[in-house]
Structure 1
Amino acid sequence: MTYPQDPYGQQQPYGQQPPYGQQPPYGQPYPPPGYGYGPAMPPQDQGLAIAALIVSIASLVVCSGLPSLIGVIMGHIAHAKAKRGEAGGQGMALAAIIIGYLGVAIIVGLVLLFVIVGIATEWDFD
């Protein structure tokens, strides 16, 4: 017995599509060879998300508030574009937002710490 066979007992040549109305035998790829899956999707632009992540991480390294704010703004823009399907990198944009807000919180905390220490020790700025 040979496999695959058509209903009349004749063996199908390998790689050819079975006659109209019949299912391809098990083990053959779908779609049949020669048909393909269509053109590939073009890669989505992730540049803004990458830049936002780099700026947010750099703001933590240099411990500066302005780059943190820039990273947060860029991250929000990149995340919105990714959600609309205009760009890729939704995860990177979300990471940039989180890291940027963390940097802003660190700067605000340090400023509050300096103000509290200044008030507690009665610094004189004369």
Structure 2
Amino acid sequence: MTYPQDPYGQQQPYGQQPPYGQPYQQPGYGQPGYGYGPAMPPQDQGLAIAALVVSIASLVVCTGLLSVIGVIMGHIAHSKAKRGEAGGQGMALAAIIIGYIGVAIIVGLVLVFVIVGIATDWDFD
């Protein structure tokens, strides 16, 4: 009895089962390579990209409203990515972090402005 592929290169005749522990190979077919199996649909990353762009733009323009919009879009994109409905989980997380940094900068600037205004007793008359 010969094995499916013994050291001498002989193959087992078609229709016979290989012994236990030996890989089964059908004659005439090569090993499966790329292209076999179900194709994965492309993941939509549009919302994550938009959230990241808006969050970065909020830092450049220094607008609090854009930061809040970037954070909201980032949270939506991140939750969709975690559920598997879309891709770009890392970009969405980066948009959230950058958006919160933008919100913190705006809040910090407003606090500094208010504290300086109170300390110097500014009059707007």
Tell me the TM-score normalized by structure 2. 0.76
Q: Structure 1 residues 98, 45: closer, same or farther in 2, change over 3 A?
A: same
- Specify the alignment match of 1:43 in structure 2: 42
Which range is displaced more, 67-76 or 12-21? Answer: 12-21
Whether the 8 Å CA contact 2:70–2:95 is kept in 1: the answer is yes
Deviation at 1:45, TM superposition (A): 0.1
Q: Structure 1 residues 110, 13: closer, same or farther in 2, change over 3 A?
A: farther
Deviation at 1:36, TM superposition (A): 5.3
- Specify the alignment match of 1:14 in structure 2: 14
Q: Render the CA deviation track for 1:27-73: whole Å, top value 9, x for unaligned.
A: 96xxxx48953132011000000000000000000001000000000
Deviation at 1:110, TM superposition (A): 0.1
RMSD value, Cα: 5.0
User: What is the aligned residue count?
Assistant: 122
Q: Which runs of 5+ in 1 are unaligned?
A: none
Identity of aligned residues (%): 93
Deviation at 1:125, TM superposition (A): 1.2
Matches of 1:98 and 1:15, distance apart in 2? 61
Whether the 8 Å CA contact 1:18–1:24 is kept in 2: the answer is no
Q: Which runs of 5+ in 2 are unaligned?
A: none
